[in-house]
Structure 1
Amino acid sequence: MERTHLVLSSGFTFDYTNLYGQGLVTQTDVAAIGERLMAAHQAMEHMRSTGEIRGHLSKDGAPEKVLFSQLPYVQADHLNSPASIARLKEFGQSLRNKVDAVVSFGIGGSYLGNKVLFDVHCGEFWNSRGAEERQGYPRLYFSGNNIDPRRTVELIEQIKYEARLKAVHAGPHDGAYRAQLVVISKSGSTLDTMSTFMAVYDALRRETPAVEVQVVAVTDLAEGAGETLLHKLAAEQGWPMFSVPDGVGGRFSIFSEVGLVTAACIGFDIDAFLAGARAMDEACRQEDIWRNPAMLNAALKYLAAEKYGQDIEVFMPYADNLKSVAEWYVQLLAESLGKRTDRAGREVFYGRTPIVAVGTTDMHAQTQQHQDGRKDKVVQFVKVAAWENDPVIPDVFPSAGKLSEISGLRLSQALDAAREANAAALRSDGRFNATFVLPEMTAYHLGELLYLLALSVAYEGELADVDAFDQPGVEAYKRLLGPMLKQHSP
C-alpha cells in the first residue's frame, strides 16, 4: 500500500497522494538518494547546533552563520529571547488607542513576511473598521516595497485625509493624528525602502492640521566600525530600534523581530506563531523521511524536478488571505534555490520557477495551462480544513435549478470540492500536485506551514549541492544601480 499522507499531532497534514506513486516520484527514486538524504539531514542537525552550513559565505566572502532554525526557540541566549519578545509586546500595547496608523516600510522579506501576518490576522478590510473593532490597534499600511510615485503619493494623501477627518470630529481629549512609521532595513541604504520612507516622513511632518510622526527603526544593531547608516540615523534622532539579526536572511526573517514587529502592531499571537514553528522544527528532527515533513517535501520536489522535469512550482492556497503566503514563498524558493553554480563552482542553473496562484480564482485563469500546457509543473495546494466563519449557500432562487442544486452547501465545501476536482484532473493526466492541510487558519498552524517551507529549501539545497542561503545573482543589478542613479541625478 502506497504512503499518501504525513499527519502531525496538531492535525497539520502533507497529502502527497498525487506526487508519489506510479507515474510520479517512486519509492525506487527516493531509495536511490537515500545516502544523500541522510547527509542532508545530518547537515540540518549540524546547522541547528552550530549555525554552520558547508561552504556558505556572506556576500563579502567571509564565513557566515545560518541561524533561522534558532528563531522558534525563545531563550535568553537566542535571537528571540524572553526580553525581546516582551519588548515587542510592550511596543504593540503602546500603540493601542494612541496611534491612528502604522506605516511599515520594507522590501523583500521585510515586506513579504509582514504582509503574510497582516493578511492572516487582519484580512482585507482591517483599515476600514473602527478602532473598537480593531481592539484599539492602529490601521496598518505598507510602503517601501516598490519605488512607485503614484502609490506613494496616494498613501500620503490617505494619511492626510484621515488626519483632517480626525481634526473635524475630534473631541477635546483626542489630540492630533498620530502616525507610527516603522522603517526596516539592515543597512539603511535600501533604495526602495529609504526613498519612500523619506518622502512619506517629510510630507507628513509638514501636514496641517498636524500629524504627529513617530519612527521606529528595525536594523542591524551593531555599533562602532560596523554601524549601519540607519542605526546611526536612529541614534541621532532618538528613534527606538529593533533588530535585523545577523545570520538570518530576509526570506527567513518573518520569525525574527523583522516580522514580529508587525505582529505586535496588530495584536497577532506571537507566542502561538513561534510555537507552531517550533513544533514543526521538532517534527523535522526525525531521521525517517516518511515522518519528517521538510525532508519529505524537499525530496519529492527535488526528484520531481530533476528526474521528471517538473521545474516550475505553482503555489496555490485555496484562501484569499493566504495568497500573500504564495508571494512570500516566491522569494523563498527563488532566492534560496535559483543558483547558477553548485558548491564546487560547476554551472548547474538549478531551481524551480515559483508561480503565485490562488484557488478558486486562478482555476479560471491559470488552470488551462496547468492542465493542458507543458508537463513541467508541480502544483502545491494549501487547504484550510475548518473555517471560523462558514456561511451556508442559501436557496434564494429555487426556480433556478442549477443555483438551487448548490444551496445547503457551506462555502468551504464548495471551495474544497473545487480544489479536489482540480487535483484529481491534474492527476488523471499524470500531472504532479500535493496539498498542505491546515486544520484552521491560526497563528500556530501558519507558523507550522512557513517553517516547513523554510526548512524544506534548506534540505533541498543540500540535495542539489547548492548554497540555499546566499543570493549572488541579486548583486549583479546592484553593481549597476549606483552608477545609473548618478546618471539620473539632477
Structure 2
Amino acid sequence: MNQNNKQTLTLASGFTFDYTNLYGDDKVTEKDIAAIESRLTAAHRAIEHMRATGEVRGHLSKDGLPEKVLFTQLPYVREGNLNSPSSLERLQAFSRSIRNNIDAVISFGIGGSFLGNKVLFDVHCGEFWNSKTAEARNGYPKLYFSGNNMDPRRTTELIGHIETEARIKTLHSPNTAYKVMLVVISKSGSTLDTMSTFMVAYDKLKKIGPHIIVEVVAVTDPAAGSGETLLHKLAAGQGWPMFSVPDGVGGRFSVFSEVGLITAACIGLDIEKFLAGARAMDEACLTDNIRHNPAMLNAALKYLAAEKYGRDIEVFMPYADYLKSLAEWYIQLLAESLGKRTDRSGREVFYGRTPIAAVGTTDMHAQTQQHQDGKKDKVVQFIKVAEWDDDPVIPNVFPGAAKLAEISSIRLSQALDAAREANAAALTSDQRFNATIVLPRLNAYHLGELLYLLALSVAYEGELADVDAFDQPGVETYKRILGPRLKELKIQ
C-alpha cells in the first residue's frame, strides 16, 4: 500500500516490509516490475508446485539424483508431515526431561546445524543466559555451541570450563554429579568440523571422573537399515536418543525442523508460536499479487536491483545486538542458495549477491563510510524492532554537559531508530538502495515470520534467476580436495 508516499506491505500481525527506498523514481521502477511480469507469474507457479509436490525443476541431490524440496511443509504441524503433533510432543517431552535435570548442553553443529540454532538462542536467551541462576533460566540448562570451527584453543577451553563448573557444583553438593548433554547434529555423521570436536569433547569429559555424567543426543538422518548413516548407526549402537535431520530440507532451511527445534526445546522457546509465525508468513505468500506477497516482492525488488542496477552486494543490517546471528544465518542462506556458476540450462551466469553482515550503530561507525561513499553496488536491508520489552530512558545525569543533556529524556530505542532513519535517509539522498523490515516485537512468533520470509524469498529469486536455489555444488569442490589431504596427514 502507499501511505504518505511510503511503500509498505504490512501483515495482520504488524510485521512490515517498508520498501520505500528501494522502489520508485531513481530506484527499481514499476516499469521494471512490469517487464518481468510473466517471469513473476512463472516463479509463483513454480513455488506453488514446490509446496504441493516438493518438486523443483532441475533440482538434483549432490549425488545427482532427483531430490524433493520440503521446507515449505515445516510450518504445518500435521500427521504425516515432517513436523507432526507426535514429533512436537516428543520434543516437548525431551524439553521437560532436561529441565531441572541437565546442567549444561553443548550443541555440536556447523552451517545450518549451527547458525539457525544460534539465532534462536540469541533471541530467546541473550548474551548472559549462562551466567544466570538455574531459577532465572526457569530450570533450563546452560547452553554452549561447538563444532562450528575446529579451533583447538576454544575447544580445549570449553571442556576446561565444563570441568570447572562440575568441580564447583560438587564442592557445594558433594554427592551430586554435574550432568552435561552433548547434542551432535550431522545428517551424515561424517561432518569433519562437528564430529572431530564432538569426539574430543566426548572423550575428555568421559575421562574426567564420576563427578561428571555425560549424555549424548544425536540429530541425524532418520533412515535405518541399508540407508543408515554413520551417526545413526553409532547412536543406535550406543543407545543415544535420536532426532531427525529430515530429507528434503537443506541445512540453511532446517531451523524449522528438529535440527533447530532441538535447541528451542533446550531453552524453553515456544516452538508452536515459532512455527505459527512461519505458517502465517507462508499463508501471506500464497497470493500471486506481488503487492501482497512479501517474499515475491522482496525477491523481485532485489533481483531487479542487482540485475538492472548492479546492486549485487546485500548488507544485512539489524538494529539489535541479538540479531547479529540472524545476519550470519542470512549470509549462508543467500550465499549457498543464489551464488551459482550456471543457470538450469548449464549456461555460465555467475549469479548471486554477496551478503555482508552488519549491526545497527556498531557498523554505522565501521561500514557506513563504504556504504555511503563507496561503489553503488549495494542494497542495505535494515531490520527494526518496533517495541522492546525493556527500553530505558537516557537520564540527565550530567546537566552541566550540554551535549549529553541534549540526548537525555529519550528512550534508547528512540535514539536507535533515529540513527537508523538517518542512515536510510543519507543513503537514499545519494540513490543508494535500502529497505526496512519491521518486527513488532522480538519474540518467537515474529522471528518465525522473518526467518521464513527470507527462506521463501530466495526460493522465488532462484526462479527469477533460473538457478537452483537448493543445491550447493561449489561446496563439494573443496571437500574433494580436503578428503585426500586428511588421509595423508593420518599416514604421516
TM > 0.5: yes
Question: C-alpha separation between the residues in 2 aligned to 1:94 and 1:329?
Answer: 32
TM-score under structure 1 length normalisation? 0.99
The equivalent residue for 1:196 is 197
Would you identify which runs of 4 or more consecutive aligned residues in structure 1 move more than 2 Å?
Answer: none
The answer to whether the Cα contact below 8 Å between 2:6 and 2:18 also exists between their aligned partners in 1 is no
1:242 and 2:243 correspond: yes
| d(CA) in 2 for partners of 1:239, 1:185 | 14
Match in the other structure for 1:110? 113
| Matches of 2:211 and 2:202, distance apart in 1 | 13
Structural mapping, 1:92-171, within 5 Å: 92-170=95-173
CA distance in 1, matches of 2:483, 2:474: 16
Contact 1:163-1:209 at 8 Å conserved across structures: no
Tell me the residue number matched to 1:272: 273
Q: Tell me which of 5, 10, 14 is aligned to 1:11.
A: 14
Distance 2:84 2:6 in 1: 40
Q: Deviations over 1:406-442 (max 9, x none)?
A: 1110000000000000000000000000000000001
Identity of aligned residues (%): 76
**In the alignment, residue 301 of structure 1 is paired with which amino acid?**
K
**SS class of match (1:180):** strand
User: 2:231 and 2:468 mapped to 1: Cα distance?
Assistant: 29
1:84 equivalent in alignment to 2:72: no
1:415 alignment partner AA: L
Query: CA offsets per residue over residues 292-333 of structure 1, 9 Å max, x none?
Result: 000000000000000000000000000000110000000000
For 1:377, the equivalent position in structure 2 comes to 378
Paired AA for residue 455 in structure 2: A
1:373-397: CA deviation from partner (whole Å, max 9, x where unpaired):
0100000000000000000000000
Residue aligned with 1:216, SS: strand
**Partners of 2:362 and 2:210 in 1: CA distance:** 43
Between the aligned partners of 2:401 and 2:450, the Cα distance in structure 1 is 41
Q: SS of the residue aligned with 2:291?
A: helix
Q: Structure 1 CA distance, aligned partners of 2:235 and 2:209?
A: 25
Residues 186, 245 of structure 2: 8 Å contact kept: yes
Shift, 1:141, TM fit:
0.2
Alignment of 1:323-334 (within 5 A): 323-334=324-335
Counterpart residue type for residue 259 of structure 1: G
TM-score by length of 2: 0.98
Supply the distance in 2 between the matched residues of 1:161 and 1:370 (Cα, whole angstroms): 45
Partner residue in 1 for 2:72: 69
Q: Does 1:47 align with 2:54?
A: no
User: Secondary structure, in 3 states, of the residue corresponding to 2:93?
Assistant: helix
Take 2:325 and 2:289, find their aligned partners in 1: how far apart are those partners?
32
Report the Cα distance in structure 1 between the residues aligned to 2:210 and 2:380, rounded to whole angstroms.
Answer: 52
Aligned residues: 488
Q: Which blocks of at least 5 consecutive residues in structure 1 are unaligned?
A: none
Q: Is the 8 A contact 1:51 1:65 kept in 2?
A: yes
Deviation (angstroms), 1:171: 6.0
Q: 2:484: which partner in 1? A: 483
Q: CA deviation at 1:125?
A: 0.2
Q: Which residue of 1 aligns with 2:365?
A: 364
Secondary structure of the 1:331 match is helix
Q: Do structure 1's residue 38 and structure 2's residue 24 form an aligned pair? A: no
What is the aligned partner in structure 1 of residue 215 from structure 2? 214
Q: CA RMSD in A?
A: 0.8
Aligned to 1:343: 344
Cα distance per residue 1:324-365 (max 9 Å; x no partner) = 000000000000000000000000000000000000100000
Residue type of the alignment partner of 1:84:
S
Query: Distance in 2 between the 1:114 and 1:3 partners?
Result: 35
1-structure distance, mates of 2:77, 2:63: 30
**Does the Cα contact within 8 Å between 1:73 and 1:278 map onto a contact in 2?**
yes
SS at match of 1:221: coil
Does the CA contact (< 8 Å) of 2:170 and 2:211 recur in 1? Answer: no
Distance 1:279 1:3 in 2: 24
Q: Find the aligned partners of 1:426 and 1:3 in 2 and give their Cα distance.
A: 16
Q: Is the 8 A contact 1:11 1:439 kept in 2?
A: yes
How far apart, in 2, do the equivalents of 1:3 and 1:472 lie?
41
Q: Contact 1:164 / 1:209 at 8 angstroms: preserved in 2? A: no
Q: Distance in 2 between matches of 1:77 and 1:235?
A: 24
Q: Offset of 1:208 from its aligned partner? A: 3.1
Q: Does the residue aligned with 1:360 lie in a helix, a strand or coil?
A: helix
Aligned equivalents of 1:297 and 1:79: distance in 2?
27
